[in-house]
Structure 1
Amino acid sequence: MDVFDSMRVYVQAVEKGSLSAAATACGISATMAGNHLRTLEKRLGMQLLQRTTRRQHLTAFGEDYYARCKEILRLVAETDAQAQNLQLAPAGKLRISAPVSFGTEALMPALSVYLARYPEVSVDVALCDRVVDLVEEGFEAAIRIGALPDSALIARPLAPYRLMICASPDYLARRGTPATPEDLSQHDCLSFSPAALVHWRLTDTQDDICRVPVSGRLQVNNGQALRVAALHGLGIVLQPAILLQADVQAGRLVQLFANHTLPSRPMSVVYLPDRYRSPKLRSFVDFLVERFS
């Protein structure tokens, strides 16, 4: 017999005043209640109750054992409740990957809200612009920008990644402000890589698409570095709005072609299907969808 079940029967017998009342309270037969008591007494080598046909009395040891059983059962119940809460409440370390610009400018400010909401969770963020392998590199989730290939990963869509074209007031004062998208071909355009300096595509209010050939003397493989280059007047930059919009609002950069639509890129959070049962991962994915959709 389970010793904790036997303790529960004994506690009920003491509090209800009889084994038959304890049996009713525990949903078992009177015979089974008696078996539980005899099992405890045999285990302890001590008598717990002195029973007559009319009433029962606690022995001196039985009185002390009753108090100890109450405390033990209370601790067991609290531990069970704590274990259940840990299964339901997000807790533990969460390792995620995110693109550098999005992670720096958008995810970091949002994490202050997430970590305050879930104080038992810690987050290890790796910022990189390459596609990480969740299994091989031990990530539980990754934020990815662009079309996703077919895979075994589960993807939750986030708001598209918007782009913006900007230049510093100093650059525009020296080189002039392009009046039409076609004028960009006469300017120094900053790029993440040489491959990105082929065409910039814009759509006007009439839904007419304009593909402009662009070129430039500076390429940098980091979005934040391109922002700094634009701030210092080195050229016109095409980068995510989250990276440039604060500078536009402060007047450090000027947004160009605000009446045109630039192509946006899909953004998703991806994770392995079997990991979603984890409360910490589920809480993080749901938070991203809430915050960035």
Structure 2
Amino acid sequence: MDRLQSMRVFAKVAEQGSFVRAAENLEISNAVATRFIADLEAHLGTRLLNRSTRKLSLTEAGQAYLERVRHILPEIDDAEALVSLETKRPTGTLALYSVSGFGQTQLGKILPGYAKAYPEVVLDITLSDRPVDLVEEGMDVGFFSSLQKIDASMVVRKLGVSRAILCASAEYIEKHGAPQTPDELSSHICLNFSHEHLRHYWHLETEDGMRDVAIISRVVSNNSTLLRDFALAGMGIVMRPSFSLGDDLRSGRLQRVLPNHRAGEIAISLAYSSRRQMSAKVRSFVDYISEMFPHPEADAWL
């Protein structure tokens, strides 16, 4: 019995809830899929699946076994891919997607190191805020924010958490003062992203807990770089993710406003289509990015 293949078939049957769909997905016959499960149950000495003409369900033993298999199979895939990678050199074009705000402010810092380490890889970079299906659009990897929907079939690695920061230039604060409470924002000039909800409210921590605080947007744009430039020019208070403002805060070009009031956060993740049969270029990029962001629950940009 090919125990490893039997485990793969069992996991796929449990995932699909059907021998037929699992067999089609694995490109084997229904009879072969059934034989793999029967051999596995015989080997383990217990029933893993309850079968009827209408329904397929896991037994208690099957549920426990599935939980372990789901951890074991990716580790085996990773080990095999790692060994295979030793005989392959990262080459070719790496099609890379990023949500616009992150790509504009961060990829210029992240990618040069990879490009220098793997000079035979051509980086083909697309920035966009529209919904993107990596497989459908021929992309290898993508940087996504938690505000976006990622296809459930993707492998997703969380890189870090970016907090929403309110800030303004010293020029603006000297001229208009800094708000001392969230409700005082309504009397200030606000620079805002052109999302319908964000035009009128910012979600902030107050004495009453997290709530929407009414604001008046004096400048609205769908471009985060433009909003940053307006803030640097002293035109108002802006709320942007830390990844787009970290350098300005560290240099003092922008100063935090209401720093003791949380304003939400978004997660940044790397997504790619599969752990199995991963090309050398994708594997090398995933490993490179994972080393750059070793603490996925931390804000790496403050």
The one-letter amino acid of 1:203's match is: E
Contact 1:247 1:253 in 2 (8 A): yes
- For 2:152 and 2:97, how far apart are their aligned partners in 1? 17
- For 1:155 and 1:85, how far apart are their aligned partners in 2? 21
- For 1:203 and 1:114, how far apart are their aligned partners in 2? 39
Contact 2:85 2:280 in 1 (8 A): no
Shift of 1:105: 2.0
- The 1:275/1:227 distance shift into structure 2, 3 A limit, reads farther
- Matched residue SS, 2:219: coil
Residues 57-77 of structure 1: per-residue CA shift (max 9 Å, x gap): xxxxxxxxxxxxxxxxxxxxx
Q: TM-score of the superposition, structure 2-length normalised?
A: 0.63
* Counterpart position of 1:246: 247
Shift of 1:276: 5.5
Superposition map of 1:90-239 within 5 A: 90-147=90-147, 148-149=149-150, 151-195=152-196, 196-203=198-205, 208-239=209-240
Shift of 1:216: 1.1
Shift of 1:94: 0.2
- For 1:276 and 1:236, how far apart are their aligned partners in 2? 48
Unaligned 5+ segments in structure 2 are 1-83, 297-302
- For 2:85 and 2:152, how far apart are their aligned partners in 1? 33
The one-letter amino acid of 1:199's match is: Y
Contact 1:181 1:210 in 2 (8 A): no
- For 1:207 and 1:286, how far apart are their aligned partners in 2? 43
* Counterpart position of 1:78: none
- Matched residue SS, 1:102: helix
- Matched residue SS, 1:152: coil
Contact 1:275 1:281 in 2 (8 A): no
Residues 236-275 of structure 1: per-residue CA shift (max 9 Å, x gap): 1001212222222322211112223221112211122277
- For 1:215 and 1:104, how far apart are their aligned partners in 2? 27
Structure with greater Cα Rg? 1
Same amino acid, percent of matched pairs: 37
* Counterpart position of 2:4: none
Contact 2:200 2:217 in 1 (8 A): no
Shift of 1:150: 5.0
- Matched residue SS, 1:191: strand
Shift of 1:232: 1.5
- For 1:93 and 1:145, how far apart are their aligned partners in 2? 24
- For 1:149 and 1:113, how far apart are their aligned partners in 2? 27
The one-letter amino acid of 2:115's match is: L
Contact 2:133 2:151 in 1 (8 A): no
Contact 1:189 1:214 in 2 (8 A): yes
- For 1:106 and 1:276, how far apart are their aligned partners in 2? 29
- Matched residue SS, 2:281: helix
Q: TM-score of the superposition, structure 1-length normalised?
A: 0.64
- For 2:186 and 2:275, how far apart are their aligned partners in 1? 50
- The 1:274/1:194 distance shift into structure 2, 3 A limit, reads closer
Q: Report the aligned-residue RMSD.
A: 2.4
Shift of 1:120: 2.3
Residues 187-230 of structure 1: per-residue CA shift (max 9 Å, x gap): 121111151123222337x8943431112121111000000111
Contact 1:203 1:210 in 2 (8 A): yes
The one-letter amino acid of 1:286's match is: D
* Counterpart position of 1:49: none
- For 2:137 and 2:236, how far apart are their aligned partners in 1? 38
- Matched residue SS, 1:162: strand
The one-letter amino acid of 1:96's match is: L
- Matched residue SS, 1:88: coil
Contact 1:145 1:161 in 2 (8 A): no
Superposition map of 1:74-89 within 5 A: 87-89=87-89
Contact 1:165 1:256 in 2 (8 A): yes
* Alignment length (residue pairs): 209
Unaligned 5+ segments in structure 1 are 1-83
Shift of 1:178: 0.4
- The 1:274/1:248 distance shift into structure 2, 3 A limit, reads closer
Superposition map of 1:273-292 within 5 A: 273=274, 277-292=278-293
- The 1:85/1:248 distance shift into structure 2, 3 A limit, reads closer
Contact 2:114 2:288 in 1 (8 A): yes
- The 1:268/1:99 distance shift into structure 2, 3 A limit, reads same
